[in-house]
Structure formats: C-alpha cells, structure tokens
Amino acid sequence: MRVACIGEAMIEMSLDGDAASIAVAGDTLNTAVYLKRSAPEIEVDYITRLGVDPMSDRIRGFIASEEIGTERIGTDPVGVPGLYAITLNDAGERSFTYWRSASAARGMFADRDFSTLEGYDLIYLSGISMAILPHRVRLALVEYLRNCPAKIAFDSNHRQRLWNETDARQITSEFWSFCDIPLPSIDDEMALFEETSAAVETRCRGMRGLGALKRGASGPLSIGEPIQQNYSAAASVVDTTAAGDSFNGGYLAARLRQSQQADALRAGHELAARVVGYRGAIIPKNAM
C-alpha cells in the first residue's frame, strides 16, 4: 500500500507568553505523520517543494525522521518554507499568523507535470494544498486526479485568506463530485458554502464515497454508511491545532488496514482527542 500526501510543510512557531518553540508542521504533513505512526507498515510519501536553506533542510530531516518518504520532494533554488505562529486563547482555541508568500511549495506542479503522483494507491490532499497553487495548476491537477487510478482522499480545510471564495467553492465542489474518501469539517463547510450546520450535514450525507464529516467534540458524522455510535470527549483540551489532521490520519490508517467504518471513525476521533491535549500540531511519539 503506497500513499502520497500533497501539501505545504512549514515551520511552526508556538507562542507561550514571551517564549516560542519551533517545530515542523502543515495540515497534510500532520496527517501523513499520524497516518504513518498509526500504521507503520503503510508506505507514506510526502510531496511538496522546499528550498536549499537551513529551514528546508530541517523540514526534510523531520519528515525523514518520521519514516515518511522524501524522494519526491522538489527543490526550489529561490523559495523558502512558509512560517506560521500559533496563538491560543484560554479555551485552547487557536489562531494563526502566516508568513508564506515566498513559500517554495507554491511552485508545485508549475509545469503541470503530475508524474510524481504515479504509482500510488491513495493520494491525499486538502483545500490548503490547492489554495497555494495558481488557478490554472489547480484546474489541471483536479482533472488529473479525477482520471488517475489511485483512490483520492480530500479535506476541504478552508483558509479564506489563501484564495477567493469563487475559486474555493469551485475546486472544493469538484473534489466532492469524485473523491473516494471525503473528509470535510463542519466549520469549514459552513463558512465556505454559507450553510447552517444542519444543511452541511444533510449535504454531506449525500456525498459519494465513504468518509467522515468532522464535528469536533460532537464526534464525526459518517458519510456513505449510516453509523450511530457515541464518542468520548477529550480528557483535556490544551491546543486544538491539528485536531482535524490527526483525525484524518487515524481514520485513514484504520481504513487502509481494512477496518470497518465504525471502527475507523472511532480511531480517528480517539486520536484527535489525544492530540488536543498537547501543544502544537504533532505530539511526541511516546504520547501516541
């Protein structure tokens, strides 16, 4: 089983008063890490572009340390990694400040050559993966993925500042029309399509494929198969960064191990509940 995760790996700065800790993260990279940790036997590659600077080297080293393949990471002689800072409120809810306009990842697939995506059983990407690309590249990538033999998993993961609403709705709707494993979040879908939570749930129940609508502490809504089960609340909420990404990793790992839908939903929720008890996007290995 070979999985490709596409996106932007960034330097994460987590603020704690006047102090800051530095790490490596990024939405699809977070999912790749949690997928690989949850199912070590699955071959997971990360696909992005990095520069030739020390921070790019740090990112490459981190990805390799998680036993995720780096062979298909492109190199940009000019670009550098993006940076983001996490600020938390008293409830553990996070806000982000980004510096990513010169990110090397924005140059992925600039020549519209998608040969690096060949040979995979599953390709996973997100709305952020698409938002950082020029629109002509987005459209070409959508067309490639629609027709490629791999299964496609997609998380809409909407960041309004990265692209305009028209393009975001168009691209996201395209993915919902053909992806095999839809992994939307209720807040993102409400914001992007200007719908109530009830309307989002109704629409997601009718999506093609087998996946999950992430609803935070309420637990996931099954897409493609009716499931009724209860989910335990997180023991402690310190930082909600990567809650959805870790759910995706746990859920995908279970699905790829041929678990039943109910078990996969529970695996994703339980992993996310553990992750929000720690600061930062990627928790220590010994906390898994």
From CA 213, how far away is CA 224, in angstroms rounded? 11
Q: What is the pLDDT of residue 124?
A: 98
> How many C-beta atoms surround the C-beta of residue 202 within 10 A?
11
Other CB atoms within 10 A of residue 72 CB: 17
List the alpha helices (DSSP H) in the chain.
Answer: 27-38, 54-65, 127-131, 135-147, 165-178, 186-193, 197-205, 243-256, 261-275
Q: Of 245, 273, 275, 238, which Cα lies nearest the Cα of 92?
A: 238
How many whole angstroms separate alpha carbon 115 and alpha carbon 1? 18
**According to the model, what pLDDT value does residue 63 have?**
98
58-67, 95-104, 205-214, 216-225, range with the lowest pLDDT: 95-104
Q: What is the DSSP letter of 233?
A: P
Give the pLDDT confidence of 107-140 residue by residue, as tens digits. Answer: 999 999 999 999 999 999 999 999 999 999 999 9
Which pair of structure tokens corresponds to residue 240? 């909600």
Catalytic residue flag (residue 245):
yes
- pLDDT, greater one: 57 or 87: 57
In this prediction, residue 280 has a pLDDT band, given cuts at 50, 70 and 90, of confident
> 45, 76, 239, 245: which is the annotated catalytic residue?
245
**Whether 124 contacts 248, CB under 8 Å:** yes
Q: Which of 202, 118, 133 is nearest to 167 (CA)?
A: 133
pLDDT of residue 184: 98
Q: Is 66 helix (H, G, I), strand (E, B) or coil?
A: coil
The pLDDT of residue 32 is above 70: yes
285: which residues sit within 8 A by CB, 6+ positions away? 37
CA 235 to chain CA mean position, Å? 24
CA distance 108 to 284: 30
Cα separation, 3 vs 256, whole angstroms: 10
We find that the CATH architecture of domain 2-287 is 3-Layer(aba) Sandwich (3.40)
Indicate the length of the chain as a whole number. Answer: 288
Question: Parallel, antiparallel, or unpaired: how do β-strands 10-16 and 19-25 relate?
Answer: antiparallel
Predicted local confidence at residue 95, as pLDDT: 77
Is the pLDDT at 45 greater than 70? The verdict is yes
- What angle (nearest 5°) sits at the alpha carbon of residue 103, between those of residues 100 and 109? 130
CA distance 282 to 242: 7
